[in-house]
Amino acid sequence: MLYAIVSTDVENSLPLRKTARPAHLERLQQLQDAGRLILAGPNPAVDSEDPGESGFSGSLIVAEFPDLASARAWADEDPYVAAGVYAAVIVKPFKQVFPQ
Alpha-carbon gap, residue 9 to 78, rounded angstroms: 13
Give me the pLDDT at residue 100, please. Answer: 86
Q: What is the pLDDT of residues 51-98, one digit of tens each?
A: 999 999 999 999 999 999 999 999 999 999 999 999 999 999 999 999
pTM of the predicted model as reported, rounded to 2 decimal places: 0.96
Mean pLDDT of the chain: 97
Contact (CB, 8 A) for 58 and 42: yes
Give me the pLDDT at residue 89, please. Answer: 98
Alpha-carbon gap, residue 60 to 5, rounded angstroms: 6
- Model confidence at 23, pLDDT cuts 50, 70, 90, reads very high
Alpha-carbon gap, residue 75 to 21, rounded angstroms: 15
